[in-house]
Structure 1
Amino acid sequence: MSVDHSPPPPLLPSESRPAFLKLQPGMTVVVRHDPLPGEALDRDWWMGQVVHCSGGARDPKAWTLFQIADVDSGVIRWVNADLILQVLMENTDESD
């Protein structure tokens, strides 16, 4: 069995990291529409709310799959991270 002894890749600066790395359940996102077989090609994107985040095999803390509920229809879909176009942060205004 071979072992990789190369150093790990350097971390990217926070401004150039993909937006999906900081996703948490409850956040709202814009998702590129990836139609299922037999589904109409009537839209380019949809908006949804993150229900669940799932990690990958290499690093369980790096989210790669998400369960997202479509805000228009209520349908919950599994979405790959590469389909997330934009993250709309949740309201963090904590006025007392």
Structure 2
Amino acid sequence: MKKLAFLFLCLSSLSFAVDYDPQRGKMLSLSCANCHGTDGKSNSTFPYIAGLDKDYLYKTLLDFKTGKRTDTYMMTKHTKGFTDEELEQLSYYFSKVK
């Protein structure tokens, strides 16, 4: 049991290897505003993403990028334009919005 807990701790610490840069996150988030609203606070049929868990957001963005998760094509196409590091910055940014 201790080995399993140690393994989980090691893996969870590796999930986000990038230092968060608030200005970069804000800049990158501007490309999401057309659909998800300013700071991810959608007032339309698009999902409200402000304040969601950063691990959930990052996994979701990676799943769109790799094709594991599909939509009406927009998210898959949009995420392919970002590096994994940029997707991490976006995940951090939106997770910190109140």
TM-score range, shorter chain: under 0.3
Which structure would you say has the larger Rg?
Answer: 1
Higher relative contact order (CA 8 A, sep 6+): 2
* TM-score, structure 1 normalization: 0.26
